[in-house]
Amino acid sequence: MKTFVIANWKCNPTTQEGAGRLFTALAGGLSNFGVKAEVVVCPPFVYLPKLVDFLSVRARSQLKLGAQDLFWENKGAYTGEVSAAMLKDLGCKYVIVGHSERRQHFGETDEMVNKKIKAAISTKLIPILCVGESAPQRESGKMGKVLKTQIFAAFKNISSSKFQDSRPVLAYEPLWAIGSGKACSPDEAMGAAIFLRKCLGQLYGRSASEKTSICYGGSVNSKNAADYITQARLQGLLVGGASLDSKEFIKIVRRVVE
């Protein structure tokens, strides 16, 4: 299984030139990171075509593209939305679904997350499903309940036979660790991952659960990155802030593959 290193640029940078510069630096610095990692860049929608063009003339680049969100209908009167079909046609391989910032700021519910997972899978986009608890939920002992509810709701009425070409990737992202500089300890991340795997086992059986990659996200940097892979035995990282600094992100990838 390859180790994922996923860059979530969120709503950054503010210019095409900035996006091009960042991507060029990443592609240059990661031209030979080997076959051990699957490095995925998820920029804002508007930069995707430019990055697709960039990759098309860099045949050797191993970077993959993902979107940060998708809409569940393929087309129609849905002003402002971007569909799975459009992302697939553009050349995306991955799509982030249910990031906590979408749940918090844009009212995304578990039902919407479920529709988005279904849309991604039926279009053969690989969903990167984000789940995680808030600080008050953790402190009041509700972490397990929150994670289980999110997982069961996200995969409601989806049979594992649908995963053949697009097995979902899970990202454990505790809300209190995102953008806070207070990363979750490798032990805590490992505990959460074991619990998530158990939930997947209940839904899909042990073998399907074991085939699923579980990543960690929340204040990942080049100093803590390797701990989640070697100590916590996770299958990847979802990197926000640190992915906007090409040197730091390249270091993270190197720590993970070395």
Is 105 tagged catalytic?
Answer: no
Amino acid letter, 228: Y
Is 97 a residue that touches ligand PGA (CB under 6 A)? no
Which of 47, 172 has the CB closer to ligand PGA? 172
Helix (H) or strand (E) holding 71: none
Q: Which stretch binds ligand PGA (CB under 6 A): 23-31, 194-202, 226-234, 237-245?
A: 237-245
Which of 162, 254 has the CB closer to ligand PGA? 254
Cβ-Cβ contacts under 8 Å for 128 (sequence gap 6 or more): 6, 40, 66, 94, 95, 96, 97, 168, 169, 170, 171, 215, 238
Which of 55, 242 has the CB closer to ligand PGA? 242
Burial category of 188 from C-beta neighbours within 10 Å (exposed 0-12, middle 13-18, buried 19 and up) = middle
Is 179 a residue that touches ligand PGA (CB under 6 A)? yes
Amino acid letter, 22: L
Is 99 tagged catalytic?
Answer: yes
Q: How far is the CB of 205 from ligand PGA (least distance, A)?
A: 29
Is 239 a residue that touches ligand PGA (CB under 6 A)? yes
> Which phi and psi (to 5°) does residue 223 adopt?
-80, -35
Which of 43-81 are b and which e, b meaning 16 or more Cβ less than 10 Å from the residue's Cβ? bbbebbeebeebbeeeeebbbbbbbbbbbbeeeeeeeee
Q: What whole-number distance in Å separates Cα of residue 76 and Cα of residue 50?
A: 25
Is 220 a residue that touches ligand PGA (CB under 6 A)? yes
Q: Which one of 38, 99, 101, 108 is the catalytic residue?
A: 99
Among 98, 168, 186, 241, binds ligand PGA (CB under 6 A): 241
Q: Which stretch binds ligand PGA (CB under 6 A): 17-25, 105-113, 194-202, 216-224?
A: 216-224
Residue 233 has, within 13 A of its CA and on its CB side, a CA count of 7
Is 178 a residue that touches ligand PGA (CB under 6 A)? yes
Q: How far is the CB of 240 from ligand PGA (least distance, A)?
A: 2
Is 168 a residue that touches ligand PGA (CB under 6 A)? no
Q: Which stretch binds ligand PGA (CB under 6 A): 70-78, 133-141, 144-152, 173-181?
A: 173-181
Q: Where are the alpha helices (DSSP H) in 123-171?
A: 135-139, 143-154
Catalytic residues: 99, 173
Contact residues toward ligand PGA (CB under 6 A) are 8, 173, 178-179, 217-220, 238-242
